[in-house]
Amino acid sequence: MEIIILKNAKVGSEVGGKIIADLIEEKPNAVLGLATGSTPLMLYTEMIKSHKEKGLDFSKVTTFNLDEYIGLEKNHYASYFRFMNENLFSQINIPLENINIPDGMAKNVKLHCQEYEAAIVKAGGIDLQVLGIGSDGHLGFNEPTSSLASRTRIKTLDEQTREDNKRFFKNSEEVPYHCITMGIGTVMDARTNLLFAFGENKATAVQQMVEGPVSAMCPGSVLQMHPNAIVILDEAAASKLSKIDYYKWVYKNKPEWQIY
């Protein structure tokens, strides 16, 4: 696990944007796993900027989103389909047929999840998966106690997750209780995992993810077992790490070709 601590979320998102741009330039038909929520918004701004100002071509890129609420139509104001379209897809040249987001209105959820897994395999697997981490350590909507070998499936949201996400809804009663999410095993299959965490409210989860034991109680901790996990933090999110000075020293003293 590579820990990169930068002064703020803007700089962290710029570094993340460069990592993704470098991947697409090297592999134009890259497969990206994408996340929603407030954390990746600045990252998507950087991706849009790379497309509009530097000509980064998304025409051969395929994407798979981590999750979606069950029971929300695609055009619902809080759906992840709408979120992704407004904040990224409508502003880059990615073909609609290359975009994959779990269907929250699927009639047969179990079958839909199996088909989603199969589509990832058919696409050649995910080259880079964008991640955030919940305040309770969840990845995607893989809540604490989720199997570390889990695949795409239905999950019941933890009350803390519903509380954290109610800001995206008109009132707390509208927050769904269920979702479709990629499993932790699915996330671990990605060739690179790129996780962002910003803000003091993520500091405890980050400390448990990076320095705690690998445990289903902190699903993010499984990234300790991934061969290429990159964790980009701001100072606030990194504030509870016991080895913070070491992580900064390592990044500062990398060979020039390894620095993003």
Q: So which residues are the catalytic ones?
A: 67, 136, 138, 143
Q: Which DSSP category does 160 fall into?
A: H
Contact 4, 248 (CB under 8 A): no
Helix axes 41-54, 9-26, angle to 10 degrees: 50
The label of the residue with tokens 């890259």 reads: 30
Question: Bridge-partner residues for 2, per DSSP?
Answer: 230
Task: Produce one character per residue of 41-58: b if its CB has 16 or more CB atoms within 10 Å, e if not.
Answer: ebbbbbbbebbeeeebeb
Helices (H), the chain: 9-26, 41-54, 80-87, 109-122, 159-165, 184-189, 203-211, 244-252
Determine which helix (DSSP H) or strand (DSSP E) holds 190, and give its type and residue range.
none
Q: Which DSSP category does 7 fall into?
A: S
